[in-house]
Amino acid sequence: MTNHKNVCIYCKSIGNKNNGGIEILGMYICQKCEHEITKIDCDAENYLYYVNGLKKVWCCLLD
């Protein structure tokens, strides 16, 4: 298993999936942002920020 570093699509922090976080379709989401996504309420001010980030992941699949 490789231990390459990735840049979070949200906060741009550098990490790797071995230190937490997830990789979806080659795009990395750090553990902190992953946690924010799982607990965010749809009425939250930054909800669309996280939704739009996930749209980028899925749009890459369609390209």
Q: What is the pTM of this model?
A: 0.77
pLDDT over 50 at 1, yes or no: no
Distance of alpha carbon 22 from alpha carbon 24, whole angstroms: 6
So where are the chain's domains? 6-62
Q: Which residue has the higher pLDDT, 51 or 63?
A: 51
pLDDT for position 35: 94
What are the pLDDT digits (tens) for 2-60? 455 689 999 999 886 677 889 888 889 999 999 999 999 999 999 999 999 888 888 76
How many CB atoms sit inside 10 A of residue 12's CB? 8
pLDDT for position 39: 95
